[in-house]
């Protein structure tokens, strides 16, 4: 029997992308033939970078870290509709805490019921379990040290944006 080609999407706002996100991406690369980082727009989040800027930043990281089979693009609308349009087999999600599990479980069940798409969860590594883009933005706005939480190139762009 031939091996099935598996395409996954990893949706999120990635505003900004963190080392926790990269941890999930690197581990997801081992599970899937193709991984699309899907930068979404969230109407309920106060976003710092435009979707285009986030795609640029993530693309630079993918190129620099040589991540075969990984691509990045932005999308509008429902994640399940985007996944269907990309003919994705699964949605990849990272889990940090028990709070994430409750929310993500409900979302995964809904996505499967509505669109028939499965969700695969990867627990983030321990050192990133508390990290969120929202927390990163807050720490950066107060001048905190983020050197071990986000890539250096992202930190530089974040500092530049906050100094405007």
Catalytic residue among 13, 74, 93, 96: 96
7 given a catalytic annotation: no
Report yes or no: 101 and 95 within 8 Å, Cβ to Cβ.
yes
74 is catalytic: no
Are residues 13 and 132 in contact, defined by beta-carbon separation less than 8 angstroms? no
Whole-angstrom distance, CA of residue 154 vs CA of residue 151: 5
Candidate list 42, 45, 141, 159, residue with the active-site label: 45
Mark whether 164 is an active-site residue.
no
CB neighbourhood size of 10 (10 A): 25
- Do 47 and 15 form a contact (C-beta atoms < 8 A)? yes
| Strand pairing class (118-123; 90-95) | parallel
Q: Are 107 and 119 in contact (CB under 8 A)?
A: yes
Report the Cα 81 to chain-centroid distance in Å: 17
Q: How far apart are CA 43 and CA 62, in angstroms?
A: 26
Catalytic residue among 13, 21, 54, 137: 21
To the query of whether residue 64 is one of the catalytic residues in this protein, the response is no
Catalytic choice (54, 74, 133, 137):
133
Q: Give the residue numbers marked as catalytic.
A: 21, 45, 96, 133
């Amino acid at each position: 029997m031939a091996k099935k080609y598996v395409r996954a999407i990893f949706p999120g706002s990635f505003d900004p992308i963190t080392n926790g996100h990269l941890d999930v991406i690197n581990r997801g690369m081992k599970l899937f033939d193709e991984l699309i980082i899907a930068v979404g727009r969230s109407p309920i989040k106060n976003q710092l970078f435009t979707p285009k800027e986030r795609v640029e930043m993530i693309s630079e990281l993918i190129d620099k870290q040589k991540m075969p089979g990984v691509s990045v693009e932005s999308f509008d609308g429902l994640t399940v509709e985007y996944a269907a349009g990309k003919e994705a087999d699964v949605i990849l999600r990272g889990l940090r805490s028990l709070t994430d599990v409750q929310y993500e479980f409900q979302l995964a069940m809904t996505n499967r019921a509505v669109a028939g798409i499965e969700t695969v969860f990867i627990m983030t590594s321990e050192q990133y379990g508390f990290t969120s883009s929202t927390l990163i933005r807050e720490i950066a706005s107060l001048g905190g040290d983020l050197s071990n939480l986000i890539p250096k190139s992202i930190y530089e762009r974040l500092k530049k944006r906050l100094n405007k």
